Amino acid sequence: MKQKTKKRLIVACVFTTCFLLSGCFSKGPAPIYRSGYFTYIHLCDNSNRQNSKDKSIVIVGFTQSGHEQETLDIPCTIDGQPVKRIGLFDEGYPGGDKSRHIYCGNKLKKLYIPHTVVDIQYFHGDNVSLMICEESIRVVSLWGSTCKNKYISRELYEKVKDHKDDCFPANVDFQLNYQMDNEETQYRVDYVQQDETISMPPKPERDGYSFVGWYTDAECNNIWNFNSVPLIEEGGTLVLYAGWETL
């Protein structure tokens, strides 16, 4: 009797464990959603568990209108969740998503990457220049990806140039122009050729403030005209600062 009772307890424990795990792990590929120019999935950080409250967004492709664009900005957030990954590698969790490759058409020339993105994998854009807004080297290496060029801030480039021969320094730097705790102050980087105008980025947002434009000085005295061709010396950087008004 004791042996039978013990066996029953073991079977019950195994059944309970499997039941709990089945609720923790995804039972199949995550549903694909659409937002503007992008398709995406929800994914828990560091795993494929989809019922966790700690979720992030993975960009897994472009919508039809997205494939028609020459320049695109990856949003910082979608559905109130941070966009942290572009492309996906199957991390080996039970029921996890298969690797998601992203293929670009011939029209896309520039893709702007925000500071929220921490990983880019399986991105295929041989004609695309990536403008990576990043203050560390974590996104500089793109596993399993191809692109035309990678541009990062000149400050970061000076730190990694001896180790990363496939990166180039950007010559335009957009700054949010206010102090944030544990947050990036850089909003966007860009690289413009001679006689080329600067592409205007999406308007940044700040609680309690209204965005009023981009300026060439931190005091916001001289507003930048995006129809103007910048005069940037070789090896130099044009820094543009966000202007704010209290609501």
State the 10-residue block means of pLDDT for the chain, 247 residues long. 51 45 50 92 60 75 94 93 85 55 90 91 91 76 83 88 77 89 80 93 92 96 95 93 95
CATH topology for the 171-247 domain: Immunoglobulin-like (2.60.40)
Q: How far apart are the first and last CA of the chain?
A: 75
Distance of CA 8 to CAs 5, 12, 17, 18, 147, Å?
A: 5, 6, 14, 15, 58
Predicted TM-score (pTM) of the model is 0.80
pLDDT at 105: 82
Token representation of residue 118: 């921490």
Sketch the domain layout of the chain as residue ranges.
28-169, 171-247
